[in-house]
Structure 1
């Protein structure tokens, strides 16, 4: 007789994979309902599945325009998936447990530890409380500011709805927007390219959602502790460097491009450059036409999307800390040193190996899917690479390929978004069979490198 499998016998990575998959399919089912579509007819299941995957994995790639295709019911389903996907379904479960004063079990703590990529369970429930409070507070403040700004354009009722909806989408680095119409779909924030208030609020939401809840907690406690952890120092410094560097590169490459920055005044050029530098950090909205950018800018954005946000955040990519470790490892090797030191702290070997492993798995995934889609999709390779990297980094920026994807292409991009949101290593742990501890070690060998 076959033994029945209990879900709580599964490992934390397996629970995360199954949990996200279940939410995606529930969301897809709701989006196929006739009253979720603006036409009153059910949209194709593969399109609903793609949208649900993109929302739950907080990506923002869309095969149909969100604003003009879905009714308010459909849009609320999407933004709910974004909130659940951004904070994590285990965080939402913990919120419900807090509401009903239910005790958080050891198994649930282990899953939360895996979800937030923490080294131990110590203080995990306290961190979750902070995550919920910070997230809802930041979203509420941003929603109020955006509502006030959009009241002048849309009227109070619609401005309030748009303010709440977009603050959730942007803080969770999802990149979904409602500005598209039947006549002008997929416009994102291009109508606000030189609007100071909208640009600054959206950029702050993306950055705050992308630096991670551990860093947010450190920053909030800074007045008491007067210190930041090594993790927070690395995240903040690397985030700042990438934003400024990205803005400078985009400003230089696009300054004379008549289809992007050239038509804007100097203030608009600076705002758009910073916006397009921040958006690839896994958020996905855009204020200028990405497809019209020069190839050098597009490829640079691919690199930014691959790096992505920071650990324990709503974003994807290999993460800023991983990139910092790789850069430090290169600098250490060039200088002939043995230890990798960041901010006067020596990094453990397992951190370095994990960074290399994560980067190589991510690189192989992006290359493999790009090569595969280059045989099934009728598009330029850079366009395909851009789309695949956007999916892996859960970014949502697009050069216009997503709506033109074949059924196979939609499935592959959906799987890439899923892998990007959970993280390649978590996915690998979830799929691998249970391993027993090795009782022996092989002798050390030497291989010539370089």
Structure 2
């Protein structure tokens, strides 16, 4: 990587970080207005900031109940921040630019910003991917509204039914986790139709726009990129393994009250394996799950979704590359191969660095929260680690810690959500002030004992 490219990444990353900070600041300002809460009740500034950060970082962790505390205006502000945060503020900036200028020309700097914000590999992809981002988002969300309205309008009436259909469709596709029901989807755990529609929206948003473009253009190209193949295989494997493991650890969700049908138990288990991939929507309290299930959810939250999607975590491609690297090493192979292609060493090193940095961030945050937060009786360290992973993976699930966070705890979670959404590498580039130097000295090679 050239010195010029590193300096450009530094500048670009700072602009991206500043953009997200600006959105959070604007959201904080709007949510601080008296009209944003029900009855004009006041909200502590730290709670407003937490909500704005959670919405912009499409996490869904809440310190106040969204349905009970925020007015329709406040809920719509949260909805708008989640939409911008999910698709990337650069997407909306470019759309606004095109509307004002009334043409589709994008300058080089604008294209580079879009390329980085959407995790594109080639600069030539910016315009075509922008089109797919907008079109796919509209199709999924409007389709979700139509499908959910079939259930919600007869249940709540036209006005309320349409409102909750829009809200739930957007939040599901954006993997944000906010809801206007007051208890997520717990009241709909017996409604298999609503759960299945929600699963489709969550997967649609978390699969990634580049992957969707490859899938939709397959009939023309007759091939998938290596990124798309790895994403689909890893995502499918995690879904299947997660689903089967939860069937075992939860005894096919024996904790569901009443006498649900077998198919309803299966669908709820499938939903439970999907929502930790950064969706944050639940049909039953997370705290009611067995220890094995909680541990499994923590692993899924850490992995997250796909690069260039509405999901967080270390991403499925990172997990897939490291799994293939481990298999290759065990077999004594020097090359890491998949689908008749070989991964570059730089690709593998970047994946290893990402996981290492993520582990450090999670460890430090956990250590701080163990000193600032109180763990209730009956829980152990998982009470805090679960929250940390949920924030870093921009998931939104919680064992109950979020509403009881201290001021320091809220600031730590806000920082974790921000890093999880913007990305560790982008955050590091924006904070880096070091001068890039090219060393012409290479020292002799020597090995150390490993393992």
- TM-score greater than 0.5 by the shorter chain: yes
Please report how far the alpha carbon of residue 259 of structure 1 lies from its aligned counterpart in structure 2 after TM superposition.
3.3
3-state SS of 2:124 partner: coil
Hey, what does 1:29 align to over in structure 2?
29
In the alignment, structure 1 residue 338 sits paired with structure 2 residue 334: yes
Q: Does 1:292 align with 2:288?
A: yes
The aligned runs of 1:11-410 (5 Å cut-off) are 11-100=11-100, 101-102=102-103, 103-180=105-182, 187-255=183-251, 258-260=254-256, 263-379=259-375, 380-410=380-410
CA contact (8 A) 2:275 2:282 kept: yes
Q: Partners of 1:84 and 1:407 in 2: how far apart?
A: 26
- TM superposition shift of 1:260: 3.7
- 1:350-408 Cα offsets, whole Å, 9 max, x none, are 10000000111111111111111011111131011001100000000111110011111
CA distance in 1, matches of 2:99, 2:209: 21
User: What do the CA deviations read for 1:61-94 (whole angstroms, capped 9, x no partner)?
Assistant: 0000101111100000000000000000000111
Q: CA deviation at 1:256?
A: 6.7
| 9 and 293 in structure 1: CA distance in 2 versus 1, 3 angstrom threshold | closer
Which stretches in structure 1 are left out of the alignment for 5+ residues? 1-7, 181-186
Residues 328/441 of structure 1: CA separation in 2 closer, same or farther (3 Å cut): farther
8 Å contact 1:261–1:272 — kept in the other structure? no
Q: What is the CA-CA distance between 1:115 and the residue it aligns to?
A: 0.9
> Aligned partners of 2:9, 2:372: CA distance in 1, in Å?
40
Alpha-carbon distance in structure 2 between the residues aligned to 1:286 and 1:151? 21
User: 1:96-126, CA deviations, whole angstroms, 9 ceiling, x for partnerless residues?
Assistant: 1232325322111111111122223122122
Q: Which has the higher mean CA deviation after the structures are superposed, 133-142 or 254-263?
A: 254-263
Residue aligned with 1:122, SS: helix
| Counterpart residue number, 1:442 | 442
Residue aligned with 2:123, SS: coil
**Residues matched between the structures, number:** 437
How far apart, CA to CA, are the structure 1 residues paired with 2:271 and 2:144? Answer: 17
**Matches of 1:404 and 1:371, distance apart in 2:** 17
RMSD value over aligned CA atoms? 1.6
2:358 touches 2:424 (CA, 8 Å); kept in 1?
Answer: yes
CA shift for structure 1 position 127? 0.8
**Contact between 1:308 and 1:393, CA under 8 Å: does it hold in 2?**
yes
Partner of 2:4: none
Determine the C-alpha separation between the residues in 1 that align with 2:267 and 2:119: 33
* Comparing 99-108 and 240-249, the one that deviates more: 99-108
SS in 2 for 1:448: coil
Given that residues 255 and 261 in structure 1 are in contact (C-alpha distance below 8 angstroms), is that contact kept between their aligned partners in structure 2? no
Q: Please give the alpha-carbon distance, in whole angstroms, between the structure 1 residues aligned to 2:257 and 2:323.
A: 31
Query: Per chain length, whose mean CA-contact separation is higher, i.e. which structure has more relative contact order (CA < 8 Å, sep 6+)?
Result: 2
Match of 2:5 in 1: none
Q: Indicate the SS of the match to 1:366.
A: helix
Q: 1 CA distance for matches of 2:115 and 2:251?
A: 45
The Cα of 1:258 is off from its aligned counterpart by: 4.9
Aligned residue in 2 for 1:183: none
Distance 1:285 1:441 in 2: 53
Deviation sequence 1:409-450 (CA, Å, 0-9, x none): 111000000000011111111111253341414223322222
Inter-CA distance 315–249: structure 2 relative to 1 (3 Å threshold): same
CA deviation after TM superposition for structure 1 residue 129, in Å? 1.5
TM-score w.r.t. structure 2 length? 0.94
**What is the CA-CA distance between 1:167 and the residue it aligns to?**
0.9
Where does the alignment leave 5 or more consecutive residues of structure 2 unmatched? 1-7
Q: Is the 8 A contact 1:235 1:310 kept in 2?
A: yes
